[in-house]
């Protein structure tokens, strides 16, 4: 049976099947993995990156809802089938549904997603946390020299808003659509990160960069749910964004002074150990 996620999260059956078959024939070990790639986005690319670093196997797009597969990172929990093995994914909205009970749920992104599982009658996991917080265990930039006071990371849906915005000389616009390592490299060149992208904030937290959740528009699906889901795993479930709607007249330096650093992740203990794909 073809995977019900369709083109927004899985290759077409022939393409994915042939890719997996070719890798197997070459002797490569593979991990069937579901991730969202209709739009190029660091927050979706980081899942396959981490899975490959942990397993040493090549992530291949899951193409069948009947075949055991991993679901790791992203707001994709509602798209699982009963063959899904979940690690660190979450819901995108409190209105999300769960059409099938996953075969195993080793961890979810935060307490909001966990409570939704309970509401659906699904036994919740004991571990919460977004696996992207583990990135420093798998990649460290070779250079950590700070070049900018401020790094601004818009969600990809907000990027068009910055087309004609003139930023201060000590600020840089960071494209969330980059590959995993170049994005981390550029992020680490900044003293402070202002982001409307959830994984811009998570990456900044992971690498010890003070950051601030900012909202540039109402363009994001699910509103603030996924942000508060992540922040609930830090013990800060009621965090609100700073509204920034007049971009040409924004005082970016004033905003940067509001940034803070999350140094402690007690609820993420056991996240790596909970990795379920053996």
Q: In what order do the strands lie in the sheet with 84-89?
A: 58-61, 30-34, 69-72, 84-89, 104-108
CB of 140 within 8 A of CB of 23? no
pLDDT of residue 61: 85
Q: Quote the tokens at residue 162.
A: 């910055």
| 193, two tokens | 């990160």
The ranges assigned to domains in the chain are 6-135, 138-256
DSSP string, 19-86: HHHHHHHTT--EEEEE---SS--HHHHHHHHHHHHHHSSEEEE---TTS-EEEESSS-GGG--TTEEE
Residue 102, both tokens: 């996953």
pLDDT at 24: 57
pLDDT of residue 54: 97
User: What does the alpha-carbon distance between residue 73 and residue 273 come to, in Å, rounded to a whole number?
Assistant: 16
The pLDDT value given to residue 4: 45
Block mean pLDDT (10 aa), the chain, length 278? 43 56 63 86 95 94 85 94 96 94 97 97 96 96 91 96 94 97 98 98 96 94 94 91 95 96 78 93
What are the CB-based long-range contacts (under 8 Å, 24+) for 21-24?
23/58, 23/60
CB count within 10 Å of CB 201 equals: 27
Whole-angstrom distance, CA of residue 111 vs CA of residue 96: 15
Phi, psi of 69, rounded to the nearest 5 degrees: -150, 160
Q: How far apart are CA 117 and CA 79, in angstroms?
A: 13
CA separation (Å) from 253 to 152, 228, 243? 11, 25, 15
Neighbours of 112 (CB within 10 A): 22
Which run of H or of E encompasses 106?
strand 104-108
């Amino acid at each position: 049976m073809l995977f019900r996620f369709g083109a927004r999260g899985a290759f077409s059956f022939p393409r994915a099947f042939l890719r997996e078959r070719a890798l197997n024939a070459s002797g490569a070990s593979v991990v069937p993995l579901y991730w969202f790639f209709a739009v190029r986005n660091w927050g979706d690319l980081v899942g396959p990156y981490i899975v490959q670093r942990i397993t040493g196997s090549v992530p291949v797009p899951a193409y069948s809802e009947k075949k055991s597969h991993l679901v790791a990172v992203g707001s994709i929990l509602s798209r699982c089938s009963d063959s899904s093995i979940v690690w660190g994914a979450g819901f995108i909205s409190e209105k999300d549904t769960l059409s099938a009970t996953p075969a195993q749920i080793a961890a979810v992104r935060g307490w909001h997603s966990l409570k939704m599982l309970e509401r659906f009658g699904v036994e919740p996991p004991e571990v919460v946390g977004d696996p992207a917080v583990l990135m420093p265990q798998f990649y460290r930039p070779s250079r950590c020299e700070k070049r900018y006071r401020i790094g601004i990371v818009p969600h990809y849906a907000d990027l068009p808003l910055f087309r004609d915005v003139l930023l201060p000389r000590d600020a840089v616009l960071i494209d969330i659509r980059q590959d995993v390592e170049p994005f981390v490299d550029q992020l680490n060149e900044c003293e402070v990160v202002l982001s409307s992208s959830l994984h811009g904030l998570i990456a900044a937290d992971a690498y010890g960069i003070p950051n601030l959740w900012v909202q540039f528009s109402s363009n994001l699906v699910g509103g603030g749910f996924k942000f508060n889901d992540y922040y609930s795993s830090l013990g800060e479930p009621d965090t609100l964004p700073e509204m920034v709607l007049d971009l040409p007249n924004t005082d970016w330096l004033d905003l940067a002074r509001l940034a803070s650093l999350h140094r402690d992740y007690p609820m993420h203990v056991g996240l790596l150990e909970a990795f379920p794909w053996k």
